A and B are shown apart, each in its own frame.
Chain A
């Protein structure tokens, strides 16, 4: 589901029906394990907690095996991600697992909290644009509102570290010396590529062939370039292999013709 709208929807569901919400993410094997554990923790049932641990224990060996094979070849390479709906954030998990740095990232239609986290929400100033958007106000449904957890239970879960209605945004997860760019333009894209020569660029179909003309492979993260799936454990393995293919292929070494590499000419017929 669209990550951008889901926070609003979750918020309204809580207000109207009493369903609490937590943020989960299934892109990246670590993130998947973490999200599963979070969910089990919320329900607090031992059987579910055990089952989640069993699934993780079953899935992780394949993930680790794939990583052991691929990571030596991807370690230290650089990625850029400009793709919306949380992908520019969450796919960084996968790149991290591959030992790659996400040197630049951004969304096209993001809100500030997508970058900086939900703690900025109370301080947002209403501007001309946001004034035009109708605010949907919901209130507790007189019949169907039923808090799923008592205030005490919520309190106790929060103490155990479950963070309700929270999202920290993309920025805290990015390293020093990296760039976050909102709604990147063609000009900025070119500058970035020039400056940082990434090993892979993630965006959509309209960017694909422009970026590739610079000799840099582009992975679509909208349609997945008709590959995938990349969510969950098996998805992570798919992604590792795909990125290995893209950043390590020799085809990108053919860009220059021999006569462009060595334009020097023999004076005349060499056999003379």
Chain B
């Protein structure tokens, strides 16, 4: 009972967060940066932040996560980090030779008030940035928002720095896949390709953070969106952004800057959201949906109809990020499950409103909170138990104490593999999610069934 001090008595808290259901902005920014080909993320702050961000990403992906830091000391904390950053830019381009350095700030440099564009300009004036290389930046103060905000900010920076206005003439569509796994980005590209729609996907961490073991280390793997593509994204017919919170910002910035219109959808997790994604692509690109995708859809539906009895009215507790949770909640409701406790650490009033709307027909009290934490989530569970937990690795403490089956989903997953290889978006992703949900529920049934009730066939 590691969480034995959690009681079922819920007290109102206005200031204290216990066991947060989020992490900090730079992590998202660092992850997004890695989705640009030949980009080295740079953390403008102290070494501690950067160590934490790299560790978390590394543990989640079990892949090299390279980044640089301004290595603030007491001196830079007082006088600002300009000297450190200029020096870092010089060192990085000299030693590691990336095409891009993507600078994000930290709590410390934000509090000091370092003006990053001014520092970058200084580095350029000082001749520290080779003419064919780029330094971009995003402000990622971690006392605002969460890792999702950081991802959104850095993705917007790609538009701000690279997208070139050119009328929206090219027959291609920008797709901003959201804060999803590398394999999810790959799956979104595969679906787009099956539809024969030309696209520019950014950021794109596929083949970067789910790379193969080859016996040779490459600091800048083959994946990632290229600078050339990012520049051309400004001349696309339109932008399809997936996930309002993670991708909306960049999509709107693209519209403002390059007059490329955008459509912002929910993440294509589950049958209905994938339907919407594919149907939107079909309509805006004027293409036909190939039978191969319709077949995948039918296969997902087949699992739903075949195994419906095991989903039906099962209560679920969810922890995660808003974009994921909105689509996942919809998916669970669509197979007649009851998500009744839903918490995200990321703030935002819209989240609660949308979840309420999605769960309005569930004849059970539904608890939802943005900017909530896992302590509260655990208390909800003590008051109204659930059959299944879905969330990141931190949820396993609750799963263990309360003896509830759990499916790992979201960020970070520190104790399993698979999430970077097997997508949860698209119809195939939906199949995988259901497979894992069923596995968790049925394994529990097998474990708990009496000798009389134990079933061979299910």
Q: A-side interface residues toward B, CB under 8 Å?
A: 209, 212, 217, 223, 225-227, 242, 245-246, 249-252, 254-255, 257-260, 265-272
Within 8 A of A (CB), among B252-278: 261, 271-272, 275-276, 278
The CA of A205 and the CA of B308, in the complex, are separated in Å by 16
Q: Please determine whether A249 and B312 come into contact, CB atoms closer than 8 angstroms.
A: yes
Q: Looking at the complex, which one of A225, A265, A271 makes contact with B261 (CB distance below 8 Å)?
A: A271
Given contacts A217-B305, A259-B278, 5 further A-B contacts (CB under 8 A): A212-B305, A226-B458, A246-B308, A257-B275, A269-B237
**Residues on the B chain within 8 Å of A268, using CB:** 286
Instruction: Say yes or no: B286 contacts A267, CB within 8 Å.
Output: yes
Interface of B is mostly: helix
The answer to whether the Cβ of B284 comes within 8 Å of any Cβ in the partner chain is: yes
Tell me which of A217, A268, A270 has the highest count of chain B C-beta atoms within 10 A of its own C-beta: A270
Give 18 A-B contacts (CB < 8 Å), ordered by A residue.
A250-B334, A251-B336, A254-B301, A254-B304, A258-B275, A258-B279, A259-B294, A265-B287, A266-B283, A266-B284, A266-B286, A267-B286, A269-B284, A269-B285, A269-B286, A271-B168, A271-B238, A271-B261
Using A257-B275, A265-B282, A267-B286 as known contacts, say yes or no to A252 and B305 having CB atoms under 8 A apart.
Answer: yes
Q: Which A residues lie within 8 Å of B308 (CB)?
A: 245-246, 249, 251
Distance, CA A265 to CA B279, complexed state (A): 10
Question: In the complex, what distance in Å separates the CA atom of A242 from the CA atom of B310?
Answer: 12
Q: Which chain A residue shows the least CB distance to B171? A: A269
In the complex, the chain B residue whose C-beta lies closest to that of A252 is B305
Q: Is the CB of A251 within 8 A of B309?
A: no
Q: How many Å lie between the Cα of A258 and that of B286 in the bound state?
A: 14
B: interface residue count bin: 35 or more
A147 CB to closest chain B CB (Å) equals: 39
In the complex, the chain B residue whose C-beta lies closest to that of A219 is B309
Which B residues are in CB contact (< 8 Å) with A209? Answer: 306
C-beta contact mask, B171-197 vs A, less than 8 Å → 1, else 0?
A: 100000000000000000000000000
Residues of chain B contacted by A250 (CB below 8 angstroms): 334, 336
> Shortest CB–CB separation between residue A252 and chain B, in angstroms?
7
Q: Which residues of B contact A270 (CB under 8 A)?
A: 283-284, 286
A217: nearest chain-B partner, CB-CB? B305
Q: Which residues of chain B from 418 to 448 have any CB-CB distance to chain A below 8 Å in the complex?
A: none
User: In whole angstroms, what is the CA distance A259 to B237 when docked?
Assistant: 22
Judging by beta carbons under 8 Å apart, are B271 and A254 in contact? Answer: yes
Q: How far is the CB of B324 from chain A (nearest CB, A)?
A: 21
Contact B284 A271 (CB under 8 A): yes
The 8 Å CB contact of A245, one of B284, B285, B312, B458, is B312
> Which residues does chain B contribute within 8 Å of A227, judged by CB atoms?
309
Return the contact of B304 from the options A251, A258, A259 (Cβ within 8 A).
A251
Asked if B383 is an interface residue, CB under 8 A from chain A, the answer is: no
Bound CA–CA A266/B455 (angstroms): 51
Nearest Cβ on chain B to A234's Cβ, whole angstroms: 15
The minimal Cβ–Cβ distance linking A49 to chain B, given in whole angstroms, is 32
Neighbour of A271 across the interface among B237, B297, B334, B455, CB < 8 A = B237
A225 and B237 form a contact (CB under 8 A): no
A223 neighbours in B (Cβ, 8 Å): 457
B288 contacts the other chain (Cβ, under 8 Å)? yes
Chain A residues whose CB sits within 8 angstroms of the CB of B272 once the complex forms = 254
